[in-house]
Amino acid sequence: MSKELPHLQTVRTLHRPEGTLGVVESFPDLGFGFDRFYFLTNVPEGASRGAHAHKKLRQCLICLSGSVVIDLCDSEQRYSFELSSHDQALIIPPGYWRDLRNFSGNCVVGVLASKLYDETDYIRDFDMFLEWDRQCRVVSDDVPFCPLDRYMEPRSVGRLPRDLRASVQSVLDSGYYIGGAEVAAFEEAFAGACRADHAIGVANGLEALQLCLMAAGIGPGDEVIIPAHTFIATALAVTQVGAEPVLVDVEGDTALIDVARVADAITPRTRAVIPVHLYGQPVDMDGLAGLAARRGLALIEDAAQAHGAEYKGRPCGSLGDMAAFSFYPTKNLGAVGDAGAVTTSDPARAERIRMLGNYGSKIRYQHEALGLNSRLDPIQATVLLRKLAELADWNERRRAHAARYDAGLDGLDGLATPVVRPWATPVWHVYAVQVREGRRQALQEYLRGRGIGTNIHYPTPVHRQSCYRAQDWSAGQFPVAERICAETLSLPLDPLHADDEIDRVIEAVRSFFV
């Protein structure tokens, strides 16, 4: 991220016969919520105030009367501003050494500050400041794999952090911490976004899958078909309800379940199939839906990586009997802790899932089924509701980054970029390239050496996990999944990555290969 610059901003002023009113609102004028207002008066004419810098504090300075000169600098640049009227405000981001000088005798400077007074935020020694600033610049050249902290930075996401803080605060103040209006409002909005009739908030993605299986009446003695390449939760959900996961190998290019092989895996005990829209790419659902209908199988989408993805113009979450979503913080729609949801357009299923996730109870202290405690809480719901409003834009940005990678990494010998089927509108939860000839680890280390974070989704296929050693699966049984686990590398791709960060990754990957 490039360093934020100090700048002047026009203060909104209303001129009326009865006087002039200057207004600074926390947003949009300011870009940050403020915790402290203070003012400087009676500074001796021509005097200067002690110089210092702040590590995190942001300020907005307005000269209400008289005039003052503000000098700012860091290890690379100097700036000087003269404030002599109340219709301009100086925004000082964190990380600038400042000196206020040349106060006129009648000068009054008002300051809005983003934090309360905190001595540990100050740097009062100029040489220490220069050292600190240089270190920040080195770090800021890195491209983190997942820049979650940027979602609380006003410069990256505008008023979102302020809205999130305010809405969480209002849940805290309400004294109501399970269920309630926020949860209902999010469920309604999320169902709408998925074009499903119902959404039921649950505690996490694993339990969303588990509840779908329970609602379909699946348990011991039953088999459930899942892809051999997925996050472990898909398999664990099946195991947790007492059923057997049956693996089907995936397509070599998309890494999605190979729909053509599903029919061969069906036995008289098969009760359901769980397609996983892995990496944010929808599975070919029409083929599967026909098969599931003919063979009487429940069709449960694992949509934990596919919030907003579309298959032939229809959103994931509306493509099967039920769909499980996770709102783990790094997902395309992420909470500030664990959270999940089930979507369905079957009212009976919706009611049953809600009952099963609430201790098997519809009426308090009456338990009609052996349920779970798996509920969405209102703090997560209020965060998710606000973030949901941004999801379409964020997914659009992910698509733009993916297109940048596709173009920038095209034609490299030994690297395959992701393949997208014509009917898919993916949301790029992960941008996974495949690195041939055993060079994945070398590329990952090469990128790490250049400050670029990567990840591997996933290094070990389900059938090679030690938790499943009792299952009679063997090495080599699902060769495509095994090859993908050995070759896949996920590059940084987040809506809050800047274009030039993506370019830096492209540059680095290209320089590894050529």
Ligand X SMILES: *Cc1c(COP(=O)(O)O)cnc(C)c1O
Q: Report the interface residues with ligand X, using CB under 6 A.
A: 204-206, 230-231, 233-234, 276, 302, 304-305, 326, 328, 338, 340
Which CB atom, from 103 or from 458, has the smaller least distance to ligand X? 458
Which CB atom, from 48 or from 455, has the smaller least distance to ligand X? 455
What minimum distance in Å lies between the beta carbon of 437 and ligand X? 28
Strand partners, 16: 19
What minimum distance in Å lies between the beta carbon of 145 and ligand X? 15
Measure the CA–CA gap between 259 and 426, rounded to whole angstroms.
18
Which CB atom, from 162 or from 307, has the smaller least distance to ligand X? 307
Cβ–Cβ under 8 Å, residues 107 and 65: yes
Which CB atom, from 58 or from 229, has the smaller least distance to ligand X? 229
Which CB atom, from 235 or from 292, has the smaller least distance to ligand X? 235
DSSP of 426-483: ---S-EEEEE-TT-HHHHHHHHHHTTB--B-S-SS-GGG-GGGTTS---TTSSHHHHH
What minimum distance in Å lies between the beta carbon of 300 and ligand X? 11
What minimum distance in Å lies between the beta carbon of 429 and ligand X? 7
Sheet holding 36-40, edge to edge: 7-10, 88-92, 59-65, 108-113, 36-40
What minimum distance in Å lies between the beta carbon of 220 and ligand X? 22
What minimum distance in Å lies between the beta carbon of 432 and ligand X? 12
Phi, psi of 356, rounded to the nearest 5 degrees: -65, -35
Which CB atom, from 229 or from 397, has the smaller least distance to ligand X? 229
Cβ–Cβ under 8 Å, residues 247 and 462: yes
Place of tokens 């926390």: 26
Q: How is residue 173 written in tokens? A: 């103040």
Dihedral Cα 178, 180, 181, 184, nearest 10 deg: 80
The closest residue (CB) to ligand X is 205
Which CB atom, from 262 or from 304, has the smaller least distance to ligand X? 304
What minimum distance in Å lies between the beta carbon of 269 and ligand X? 23
Cα-to-chain-centroid distance, residue 76 = 33
What minimum distance in Å lies between the beta carbon of 94 and ligand X? 33
Which CB atom, from 160 or from 206, has the smaller least distance to ligand X? 206
What minimum distance in Å lies between the beta carbon of 328 and ligand X? 4
Which CB atom, from 62 or from 225, has the smaller least distance to ligand X? 225
Which CB atom, from 164 or from 304, has the smaller least distance to ligand X? 304
Which CB atom, from 230 or from 434, has the smaller least distance to ligand X? 230
Which CB atom, from 102 or from 330, has the smaller least distance to ligand X? 330
Measure the CA–CA gap between 282 and 251, rounded to whole angstroms.
13
What minimum distance in Å lies between the beta carbon of 260 and ligand X? 21
Strand partners, 101: 69
Buried b / exposed e over 255-288, threshold 16 CB at 10 Å, is bbbbbebbeeebeeebbbbbbbbbbbbbbbbeeb
What minimum distance in Å lies between the beta carbon of 323 and ligand X? 11
Q: Which of 88, 342, 394, 86 is nearest to 214 (CA)?
A: 342
Q: Which of 143, 81, 70 is nearest to 503 (CA)?
A: 143
Buried b / exposed e over 206-236, threshold 16 CB at 10 Å, is bbbbbbbbbbbebeeebbbbbbbbbbbbbbb
Measure the CA–CA gap between 271 and 221, rounded to whole angstroms.
10
What minimum distance in Å lies between the beta carbon of 367 and ligand X? 24
Measure the CA–CA gap between 199 and 324, rounded to whole angstroms.
10
Measure the CA–CA gap between 123 and 119, rounded to whole angstroms.
9
Burial of 80 (0-12, 13-18, 19+ CB in 10 A): exposed
Measure the CA–CA gap between 492 and 431, rounded to whole angstroms.
7
Cβ–Cβ under 8 Å, residues 327 and 380: yes
